[in-house]
Structure 1
Amino acid sequence: MMESLVNAVVQVVIFLAIPFVWWFFSARKEHSFLAWVGLKKPIIENKRNYYGIFLVTIVLLVVPINTIIYYFVDSSLLASNRFTDLGISAMIPALIYGILQTGLSEELFFRGFLTKRLINKFGFYQGNIIQSLVFGIIHGFMFFSSTHVIGVLLIVIATSVAGYLMGWINEKKSNGSIISSWMIHSIANITAAFMAMFNIFY
């Protein structure tokens, strides 16, 4: 558990390094760092619409991606593979992995830093499309040397669409808060960890 916590903290710090330096030299006089990256309470006006998009994004992250992984990717290459067959004993490390190590670190960088800077530069739609493609391509690149090109392409498409929806739900439905995408991302990663823990499709 301590190893998982240390790894999570280190990864969060690494993912925060570039955003923090950028904020320090460009925006520290106007905004606090946490507000600048969107780590604030979301303000949700249309809750019904919000929860619909929230659930759709989770389903998109969990179902297609895990199906693609099952047919195209060697599960031993996945980060969640460390939990394979460990059952309930891996519960706390899996939560640390899903919520902090991957969920928080990636959302701080991709939706908190990259999305907001790109939207400021190019406008919402172009900026959100660019960040979603970067998000998808990076996830596909991780499997490029070990996975069939069709599998890589499907991973890029699925994670790009999910990345776009997470950017959209943050900026259009949560008043710029990344809490929404952090919850979505965490749920998806915890699900993957639990599937490994109980050997579902692994």
Structure 2
Amino acid sequence: MILINQLISAILQVVILIAIPFIFYLVKEKRVKGFFNYIGFKTTENNVFKYMAIIFISFLVIIILPYLYLYNTNSLTYTGFTVDAYKQYGWSMQTILVILIWAVIQTSLSEEIFFRGFLGNRLFEKLGNGGNIIQAIIFGGIHIVSVVGKGILPMVIIFLLTGGIGYALGWLSRNKADGSIIYGWMIHAAVNIISPIVVFMFLI
């Protein structure tokens, strides 16, 4: 049941966050064709893998100490279907599938479509790098809710970490990947897969 609930939750989030740019595109362009290209769901011929590796490794290194601080100060709370699955089934196939659905579809895919593919690309077209900064600020800002009431420092840490990765993924998309979100999606998904694994193995 947890797996089904996670799948439904993931699908709903993707549908909602793809519906907004779809309606915007439909009203503006008066057509459906070209929508996936519009949100950056395309590949590039550029070799972006070294930039992907740099962003991925750098983020993992940077996040270690802030993450430990947030944990040791009880600023992080672990809830959701991934936690429920682990507590009920341990390291089972169901738990792994729940983590994968949450990490690859619900969070990384939906957020890359909306923040980098739709919002980031539109802002970049109008404001250049300033547009990327704006989408990163918005992306960091929505993640602050996870630590509201825990103090100013945890809020600043979460904002900088999520805003920073949001900026890096936006930079990768616009400057190295011809506006594609696929490569940022891979990084985002990988980080989100590692995160609950580390939490379950060492912190819970």
User: Which TM-score applies when normalising by structure 2?
Assistant: 0.85
The secondary structure found in structure 1 opposite 2:172 is helix
The 3 A distance-change label for structure 1 pair 69 and 28 is farther
Unmatched tracts of structure 1, length 5 or more: none
Structure 2 partner of 1:141:
145
Distance 1:183 1:121 in 2: 26
The 3 A distance-change label for structure 1 pair 48 and 94 is closer
Q: Over residues 36-83 of structure 1, what are the superposed CA-to-partner deviations in whole Å (9 max), with x where a residue is unaligned?
A: 0001113323654453234324544x5356334313423335775334
2:153 maps to a residue whose letter is: I
The 3 A distance-change label for structure 1 pair 53 and 38 is same
CA contact (8 A) 1:50 1:173 kept: no
CA contact (8 A) 1:115 1:127 kept: yes
1:178-197 to 2 correspondence within 5 Å?
178-196=181-199
1:101-180 to 2 correspondence within 5 Å?
101-123=106-128, 125-145=129-149, 147-180=150-183
- Give every structure 1 segment of 4 or more consecutive aligned residues whose post-TM-superposition deviation is greater than 6 Å: none
CA contact (8 A) 1:58 1:184 kept: no
Q: How many equivalent residue pairs? A: 198
CA contact (8 A) 1:137 1:156 kept: yes
Q: Over residues 20-49 of structure 1, what are the superposed CA-to-partner deviations in whole Å (9 max), with x where a residue is unaligned?
A: 111111135496111100011133236544
Unmatched tracts of structure 2, length 5 or more: none
Structure 1 partner of 2:71:
70
Distance 2:175 2:37 in 1: 16
CA contact (8 A) 1:129 1:164 kept: yes
Distance 2:26 2:20 in 1: 10
The 3 A distance-change label for structure 1 pair 79 and 117 is farther
Matched, 1:45 2:47: yes
The 3 A distance-change label for structure 1 pair 51 and 191 is closer
> What's the C-alpha RMSD, in Å, of the aligned pairs?
2.3
Deviation, 1:113, is: 0.7
Matched, 1:94 2:99: yes
The 3 A distance-change label for structure 1 pair 55 and 43 is farther
The 3 A distance-change label for structure 1 pair 132 and 78 is farther
The secondary structure found in structure 2 opposite 1:200 is helix
Q: Sequence identity of aligned pairs in percent?
A: 31
